[in-house]
């Protein structure tokens, strides 16, 4: 009897133990709270978009897919977009450390473009002014005589105004002095300044931008004048003015040129298109234009390979680039010849050759601050009728400024 009782107790204990184990194995586990994803504001950008959106145009040997590099597709937003909210955001209340763990990407917004403070001509044209000051001091020390005219002629020619333009200026000045009976040297110099302002004052110097079209500004010139840097500065300034910009690396012969331009595109938060080394420059530029049109980008800035103006085959290639850039949907509104002010009268020869090839609409005169030959401005406009639209007064972005005839003349004679 006692044995039966013991067996019953043991069986009961076994049943209880089995029930407890089952209950533990099937107990519902708590569900962790959901993690909120990092969010971007409308028009926001991921860290990749702080770089320029980039596309690569395949060269002649590229595979079927062309191995196009499209950072824009990876970026998920436009290069100028604002940053995203932190996970949860301030508007949704306090969040714990786990909620903020994945927010670094959303917070990596592109830096704001820095506003620019433009320099004054007078502060940057010291070399050109110094060249003239010796002559002007001598002229002002006496009345108007034969020596006055000789010194004025020498001063203008040394400033690279050129012989033909110098003679034209002095002939007009002599006529003014005679009609107004000018005998004082100070009055004669005032008449000269007024004449120079008049010669430079009638040109249209604004950079043309047409509405509702894909504007193309083509930059041309010989090697070493600063085309790529000029494009970068112009692009930055246009972005500051609120325009969307795409830079096309049409110089496919020099790899460093494309890399340099891409760096400028990143800095300016502009889009960028380049080709494989040795690719057809026309195809690169046209690809950039098509890309800009598809994305409603306001302006395409197209670089070209530096070339000697005396090489007819290279100039023929430049003509092709110009023709292709003007095809739909492109609208070439500026062809800007970049000249180094230090080259002086040789720049006049370059301007004539490039104008004959691609119908130059304006000149960008770089390194004017480092040259005593600012008179080339007068020679270009007088001999070729091409307006100087931009001048470089230093190395910084803000040092590329619109040409101001009045300020230029005052800076030379101040």
Residue for token pair 């023929």: 316
Domain count, the chain: 1
* pLDDT confidence of residue 94: 37
Residue 269 has pLDDT above 90, yes or no: yes
Tokens 């592109």, residue located: 110
Q: Which residue has the higher pLDDT, 292 or 88?
A: 292
Domain-embedded: residue 42: no
Task: Tell me: pLDDT of 50 over 60.
Answer: no
Residue 343 lies in a domain: yes
363-398 pLDDT, tens digit per residue, is 999 999 987 778 889 999 998 899 999 999 999 999
Q: CA-CA distance, 96 to 390, in Å (whole number)?
A: 54
Question: 93: helix, coil or strand?
Answer: coil
Distances (CA, A) of 156 to 84, 196, 203, 339, 373: 58, 12, 21, 20, 9
Q: What does the pLDDT read at residue 14?
A: 58
Residue 361: per-residue pLDDT = 96
Q: Does pLDDT of 224 surpass 80?
A: yes
Q: What is the pLDDT of residue 311?
A: 76
pLDDT tens for 123-149 read: 999 888 888 888 888 999 988 999 999
Average pLDDT on 264-281 reads 93
- Establish if 177 belongs to a structural domain: no
pLDDT per residue as tens digits for the range 395-404:
999 999 999 9
Quick check: is 197 in a domain?
no
Q: Give a yes or no: residue 238 inside a domain.
A: yes
> Model confidence at 233, in pLDDT bands (50, 70, 90)?
very high
Lowest mean pLDDT among 9-18, 86-95, 307-316: 86-95
- List the strands of the sheet with 245-248, edge to edge: 54-57, 271-275, 245-248, 299-302, 214-220, 330-340, 362-366, 388-392, 400-402
Report the pLDDT value the prediction gives residue 45, as an integer from 0 to 100. Answer: 35
Q: Judge whether 316 lies within some domain.
A: yes
- Inside any domain, residue 76: no
Domain limits for position 316: 214-360
Residue 108: predicted pLDDT: 33
- 259: CB partners within 8 A, 6+ apart: none
Asked whether residue 87 carries a pLDDT value surpassing 60, the answer given is no
Average of per-residue pLDDT across 306-316: 77
Quote the pLDDT of residue 381. 92
The DSSP symbol for 220 reads E
* Closest alpha carbon to 161 in 186, 120, 127, 128: 128
Within-domain flag for 264 = yes
Given a cut of 60, whether residue 73 has pLDDT beyond it is: no
The CATH number given to whatever domain includes residue 278 is 3.40.50.300
What are 328-337's pLDDT values in tens digits?
999 999 999 9
pLDDT of residue 314: 83
């Amino acid at each position: 009897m006692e044995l039966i009782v013991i067996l019953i107790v043991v069986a009961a204990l076994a049943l209880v133990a089995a029930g407890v184990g089952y209950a533990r194995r099937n107990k519902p586990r708590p569900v962790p709270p959901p993690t909120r994803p990092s969010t971007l504001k409308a028009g926001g950008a991921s860290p990749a978009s702080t770089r320029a959106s980039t596309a690569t145009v395949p060269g002649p040997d590229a595979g079927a897919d062309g191995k196009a590099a499209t950072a824009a597709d990876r970026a998920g937003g436009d290069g100028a977009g604002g940053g995203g909210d932190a996970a949860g955001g301030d508007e949704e209340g306090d969040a714990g450390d786990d909620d903020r763990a994945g927010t670094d990407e959303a917070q990596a917004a592109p830096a704001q473009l820095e506003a620019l403070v433009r320099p004054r001509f007078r502060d940057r044209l010291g070399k050109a002014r110094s060249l003239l000051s010796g002559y002007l001091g001598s002229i002002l020390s006496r009345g108007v005589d034969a020596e006055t005219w000789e010194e004025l002629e020498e001063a203008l020619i040394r400033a690279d105004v050129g012989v033909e333009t110098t003679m034209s200026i002095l002939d007009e000045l002599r006529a003014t002095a005679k009609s107004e009976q000018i005998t004082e040297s100070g009055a004669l110099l005032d008449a000269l300044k007024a004449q120079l302002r008049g010669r430079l004052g009638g040109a249209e110097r604004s950079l043309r931008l047409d509405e509702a079209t894909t504007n193309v500004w083509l930059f041309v010139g010989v090697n070493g004048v600063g085309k790529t840097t000029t494009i970068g500065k112009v692009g930055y300034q246009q972005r500051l003015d609120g325009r969307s910009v795409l830079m096309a690396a049409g110089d496919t012969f020099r790899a460093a040129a494309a890399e340099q331009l891409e760096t400028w595109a990143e800095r300016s938060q502009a889009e960028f298109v380049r080709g494989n080394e040795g690719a057809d420059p026309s195809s690169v530029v046209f690809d950039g234009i098509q890309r800009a049109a598809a994305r409603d980008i306001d302006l395409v800035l197209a670089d070209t390979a530096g070339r000697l103006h005396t090489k007819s085959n290279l100039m023929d290639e430049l003509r092709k680039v110009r023709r292709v850039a003007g095809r739909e949907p492109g609208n070439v509104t500026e062809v800007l010849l970049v000249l180094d002010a230090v080259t002086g009268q040789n720049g006049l020869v370059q301007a004539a050759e490039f104008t004959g090839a691609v119908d130059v609409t304006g000149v960008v005169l770089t390194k004017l601050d480092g040259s005593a030959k600012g008179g080339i401005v007068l020679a270009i406009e007088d001999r070729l009728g091409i307006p100087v639209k931009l001048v470089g007064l230093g190395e910084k972005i803000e040092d590329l400024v619109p040409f101001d005839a009045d300020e230029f003349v005052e800076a030379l004679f101040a």
